[in-house]
Structure 1
Amino acid sequence: MKCRKCTKHAVINMRQHKLALCSFHFLEWIKNQTQKTIERYKMFTPDQKILVAVSGGKDSLALWDVLQQLGYQTGGLYIHLGIQGVGDYSQESQRLTEKFAKEKNLPLHIYNVQQETGSPIEEIAFYNKRGKGKPCAVCGLVKRHTINEIANQFDYDVLVTGHNLDDEVAVLFGNTLNWEVDFLRRQSPVLKAKKGLLPKAKPFCRFYERETAAYALLAGIEYIEEECPFSVGSTSIQQKEILNLLEHQRPGMKLAFYIKFLKNKKSIFQNLDEDGDTNDILYVCPTCGQSTQSEGNCSYCNTIKRTQLKKNK
């Protein structure tokens, strides 16, 4: 099969787009489509300072690579969670992230959860009895708090993550099955800034995982291939498998599902604010100074305090 743009051999055939491209034109296509997504959803501008949440995986490193090639001012943040897995999952993820940042001469912030709080993520989850044996809920809480802390500390304007179309559609599918209205109304390629909270954007939200993986491979990006040990058997993985079966039968189904949701979202939730929030009241946590939805300490500070108290008993 030949490239649609030239006579060279095509390295990827994207059936949903009816488009086959060679290595050079595919890499260019990814960059051009990313820029179009940024502009379409008004994510950020070239004069803004962007913090990229990086995990050492293909999506976040590929996104960071694309943004720096497009000329945006970027810095990366890696959060070392202390996850072991096969070998040392967190340590290997950090190594690959640091390697990428050094090769590209990009600034990278490293936050070690155990060094900062006294406990790795699994221990925090254990002492707070959250996650049914998995630290995923606590992990999300810690990441959100840390990202906002670093972003404010180093004066970043926007936070971006490497969530791809498969991620977004799996979340949309799961929330629709359970009619999680609060989550559905908040799902968007961009979350606007609020008091003390940075705007968040997902420039890869319209790319299939297969496409971001192909970009990382063709761009020569070394990334951790092992999935997080705690993701095994997760609901999101099961939902992705179901969606993959549907996509195989109907190429483009995932993209259409996501785009049509975004198109009709405003009319579905027309009685709610644009951001999907009926309550804009935010308080300030007296311990860390970050915004919280209730008076008193935020969930993060309560979680860390509870961990330290139980650990020292």
Structure 2
Amino acid sequence: MKCRVCGKPANINLRSYKTALCEEDFIAFLEKRVSATIGKYRLIDEADRPIVAVSGGKDSLSLWYMMNKLGYVSDGIYIDLGIEGYSERSLEKVRQMADTLRRRVYVFHVRNALQKGIDGVARVIRRPTCSACGTIKRYIMNRVCIDKGYTVLATGHNLDDEASALFGNVLYWKREYLWKKNVVLEGRGEHLVKKIKPFFLCSEREIAAYAIMKGIDYIYEECPYSEGAKTLVYKEMLNRIEESSPGTKIMFVKGYLKMLKEKGDEKEDGRESRYCLRCGYPTFSDKCSFCWLLDKFGTEYDVEFDQYN
């Protein structure tokens, strides 16, 4: 099997694109596609100051690396969930990348805020661990942008993530979520920052190959609380379809984006946004979910970030 561009032995076969590429041309191919995605969907403007949400995994670290390589100079935000062993190893990978890029990374420690790791938080509030994690991450990622002056938050969600989430929303007709999946979520007012997904159309396999080829040192183990998640089942089902019909996932997501664009303003849920009485950030009730957690644990903690580099 030879590279379609240069004729050298190919390192990867991209069945979705009916092409095979060597390492050098694959790297150029993926970076060009991400750059095109950023441009086509207007993810980052010249005046923007982006920051990347990093977890220590291949997707977020590859995104952080690639954005800086493409000229979108960006810092990072890492949320330490307090998962014994796993969080420490993840943070070490993040720090290594920060050193490589010579960029700053902000670190938020859940234990400092709530005196417990994410598993302990979930037990106290009697919610699934992933639900508690999502509540904290959404607030903190937005908060660091506002507090530190960043205008765009980039996350490493890839094609497989988006296709599986979309599949689940369609399968159960979750209308409240169905129209909220997009490559970009515009900010609102002074307290909600713009969120983007530059890897939206890049498969997990492609990003893993990129990380290995570029020598990106990431944590291979999955979050211990991801086991049994429905999205993993959806990913497996979509992978089976993709195997027999290459290109299905990207057509599924692109078709959704086209429909979303045609639907336009109808996707708004109509709920009136208010402001949290404690922190002043947008919420749909008197108190935002994060401040509710702070009150639940009886802490007067004000959001603080450690800074590395």
Q: Specify the TM-score bucket, using the shorter chain as the normaliser.
A: over 0.9
CA distance in 2, matches of 1:287, 1:73: 33
2:154 is matched by which residue type in structure 1? V
CA distance in 2, matches of 1:247, 1:271: 32
User: 2:124 is matched with which residue?
Assistant: 127
In structure 2, list runs of 5 or more residues that go unmatched. 300-309
Please state how far the C-alpha of 1:289 moved relative to its aligned partner.
2.1
Q: Give a deviation string over 1:202-236, Cα, whole Å, max 9, x none.
A: 00000110000000000000000000011111101
CA distance in 2, matches of 1:9, 1:45: 38
User: 1:286 is matched with which residue?
Assistant: 277
Q: Give a deviation string over 1:284-303, Cα, whole Å, max 9, x none.
A: 21212211122x21111112
2:56 is matched by which residue type in structure 1? G
User: 1:163 is matched with which residue?
Assistant: 157
In structure 1, list runs of 5 or more residues that go unmatched. none
User: 1:56 is matched with which residue?
Assistant: 56
CA distance in 1, matches of 2:197, 2:225: 23
Instruction: Work out the percentage of aligned pairs sharing the same amino acid.
Output: 39
Over aligned residues, Cα RMSD in angstroms?
1.3
2:268 is matched by which residue type in structure 1? D
Over 3 Å counting, the alpha-carbon distance change for 1:123 and 1:308 in structure 2 is: farther
**Superposed counterparts of 1:31-110, under 5 Å:** 31-84=31-84, 88-110=85-107
1:4 is matched by which residue type in structure 2? R
User: Residue 241 in 1 paired to residue 236 in 2?
Assistant: yes
2:288 is matched by which residue type in structure 1? C
User: 1:185 is matched with which residue?
Assistant: 179
Please state how far the C-alpha of 1:305 moved relative to its aligned partner.
1.5
CA distance in 2, matches of 1:145, 1:211: 30
Helix, strand or coil at the partner of 1:16: helix
User: 2:296 is matched with which residue?
Assistant: 306
**Superposed counterparts of 1:179-258, under 5 Å:** 179-195=173-189, 196-258=191-253
Q: Give a deviation string over 1:132-166, Cα, whole Å, max 9, x none.
A: xxx10010000011111111111000011000000
Aligned residue pairs total 298
Question: Contact 1:46/1:73 (CA < 8 Å) preserved in 2?
Answer: no
User: 2:148 is matched with which residue?
Assistant: 154
Q: Give a deviation string over 1:174-223, Cα, whole Å, max 9, x none.
A: 00000011211111101011131001100000011000000000000000
User: 2:108 is matched with which residue?
Assistant: 111
CA distance in 1, matches of 2:271, 2:17: 40
Please state how far the C-alpha of 1:5 moved relative to its aligned partner.
1.2
Q: Give a deviation string over 1:105-127, Cα, whole Å, max 9, x none.
A: 01111111101332211111111
User: 2:287 is matched with which residue?
Assistant: 297
Question: Contact 1:13/1:21 (CA < 8 Å) preserved in 2?
Answer: yes
CA distance in 2, matches of 1:36, 1:142: 32
What TM-score, normalized by structure 1, do the two folds share?
Answer: 0.92
What TM-score, normalized by structure 2, do the two folds share?
Answer: 0.93
